[in-house]
Amino acid sequence: MCRSCWCARSKCRGDHCLPIRRLTQGPLQRPKTRVKVLFLTNEYPPHIYGGAGVHVGYLSRELAKTMSVEVRCFGDQHVEESNLKVVGFELDTSNFTCPKPLRSAFGAVRRCIDFNTTNIDADLVHCHTWYTHFGGILAKKNYGIPLVITVHSLEPLRPWKREQLASGYDFSLWVEKTALEMADAIIAVSGETKRDIERLFDVDSARVHVIHNGIDLDQYRKVDSTAALKRYGIDADTPYLLFVGRITRQKGFQHLVSAIQFMDPGFQIVLCAAAPDTPDIAEEMRAAVERAKALRSGIIWIDKMVDQKTACELYSHAAVFVCPSIYEPFGIINLEAMACETAVVASAVGGIKEVVVDGETGFVVPLEQMNESPFEATNPDKFARDLAERVNQLMRDPQLRERFGKAGRKRVEHHFSWAAIAEKTKALYEKLKG
């Protein structure tokens, strides 16, 4: 008997017994020639506020050069360009009567359901950030397609999110754990993140793949224009230290502002910081900046998320870029600064150590963290002093800054192009599809 279609012929290929095959095994499946992927994401251009949104925007467009990509995101986006389709899902929360911190959690669940009640015809689903993980679970279970998750950050390592989500943080912890442990493949944006995943979750290490973040080398490069500097009152003839990031504990703004008191006079400090997690953190940032301004002049706070062109101008003319994060799975912001030939001073945490090469493209500053509370520094005053010391060293040495800046650009060109990252991601898709 033929085992493929249960007919009596011992050497049957199954072709002549198609009706029997369909009754017993379902429709005859012919191999598809191309893979279609469905991205589920909270952020997508132009509505982005962090590295995950930047990542999804670039990766989806790069992948769409060789395969079909559909993106379902939070917002009002609508794009149809050749292989790329982007659909934003809006949400009316005016009838929500739950506590305000829970609205983002319940809003995410409702959108995840909407993602799935709109028919899915992709070969696999690829989720970005915990906000979309429930949607990935539904797609895997209901549509029978493989689930891929890119880990941009891990909820257990961001306990300060409870300030923003209240008990919704317990939901984000649960949905992330559930999704990661059932995912067919997990993409970690750094080797450090891979180790964290394997330490914190019950996952087979063979399912965890390291594919770094990337950068558009044409968009992010050194520019001569200074319109943004003039617009924000930055003196182009005086060196300045630059910080770009969200106002969140993760980005370590509190340590940077504390370090200002130990920095040499004579250079400007530009803080491009916005999108606070909570009103309380916004007020904490405001008070800290006011205290710093009382100690020295030349502190400029750009309280808004700037566009890519403006960011390039700020990076390009900065003497030093500083990234004092206390948790950073990768740190795409450092790539942006390095691509614009700017020396970097960053904390030695997470994936930053795989991006910034100490003594070659900048300095990485050790941050001792408490075992019982890894998002807190064991000695915050020492970290602030060490951060300031490295900044001062570079501010006093223009030749070293230039050398680090040029080496940073070369490193980005050789290791972090989106084309290479898309190729690795596509290869993973094809492997999952079989």
Same domain, 243 and 373: yes
Q: According to the model, what pLDDT value does residue 248 have? A: 85
Amino acid identity for residue 56 in this structure: V
Of the candidates 54, 309, 291, 39, the residue with the CA atom closest to the CA atom of residue 147: 39
Q: According to the model, what pLDDT value does residue 400 have? A: 98
Q: According to the model, what pLDDT value does residue 160 have? A: 80
Q: Which domain holds residue 234?
A: 227-415
Number of domains in the chain: 2
Contact 134, 106 (CB under 8 A): no
Same domain, 269 and 384: yes
CATH number at residue 184: 3.40.50.2000
Same domain, 299 and 169: no
Radius of gyration over every alpha carbon of the chain, rounded to an integer in angstroms: 24
- Examine residue 288 and state whether it is found in any structural domain, yes or no: yes
Q: Before 380, cis peptide (omega within 30)?
A: no
Q: According to the model, what pLDDT value does residue 170 have? A: 96
Same domain, 426 and 399: no
* Alpha carbon distance 344, 329 (integer Å): 17
- Examine residue 302 and state whether it is found in any structural domain, yes or no: yes
Pairing of strands 299-302, 362-365: unpaired
- Examine residue 404 and state whether it is found in any structural domain, yes or no: yes
Same domain, 391 and 245: yes
Q: E strand or H helix at 362, and its extent? A: strand 362-365
Place of tokens 């689903």: 125
- Examine residue 315 and state whether it is found in any structural domain, yes or no: yes
Q: According to the model, what pLDDT value does residue 49 have? A: 79
Strands (E), 227-316: 240-246, 268-274, 299-302
Phi first, then psi, for residue 387 (nearest 5°) are: -60, -50
Q: Residue 257, Cα to own-chain centre: how many angstroms? A: 24
C-alpha distance from residue 100 to each of 91, 105, 106 (Å): 15, 10, 10
List of residues 6+ apart from 115 with CB closer than 8 A: 40, 72, 89, 132, 135, 138, 139
Map residue 41 onto helix, strand or coil. strand
Written as one string, the DSSP assignment of 269-287 is EEEEEE--SSHHHHHHHHH
Same domain, 376 and 428: no
- Pull the structure tokens for residue 160: 């300060």
Same domain, 210 and 244: no
Same domain, 408 and 423: no
Amino acid identity for residue 185 in this structure: A
* Alpha carbon distance 165, 363 (integer Å): 34
Give CA angle at 380 (375, 385), nearest 5°.
135
* Alpha carbon distance 70, 301 (integer Å): 38
Amino acid identity for residue 274 in this structure: A
Same domain, 384 and 242: yes
Contact 404, 341 (CB under 8 A): no
- Examine residue 349 and state whether it is found in any structural domain, yes or no: yes
Place of tokens 């101008």: 313
Same domain, 267 and 397: yes
Written as one string, the DSSP assignment of 59-113 is HHHHHTTTSEEEEEEESS-EEEETTEEEEEE----TT--S-GGGHHHHHHHHHHH
Same domain, 339 and 254: yes
* Alpha carbon distance 207, 224 (integer Å): 45
- Examine residue 87 and state whether it is found in any structural domain, yes or no: yes
- Examine residue 1 and state whether it is found in any structural domain, yes or no: no
Q: According to the model, what pLDDT value does residue 20 have? A: 32
Pairing of strands 240-246, 208-210: unpaired
- Examine residue 203 and state whether it is found in any structural domain, yes or no: yes
Same domain, 210 and 285: no
Q: What is the pTM of this model?
A: 0.74
| 10-residue mean pLDDT series, the chain (434 residues) | 39 39 37 79 90 91 96 96 96 93 95 98 97 98 98 90 91 97 96 94 97 91 96 97 90 91 96 89 90 92 92 97 91 93 95 94 84 57 94 98 97 90 95 88
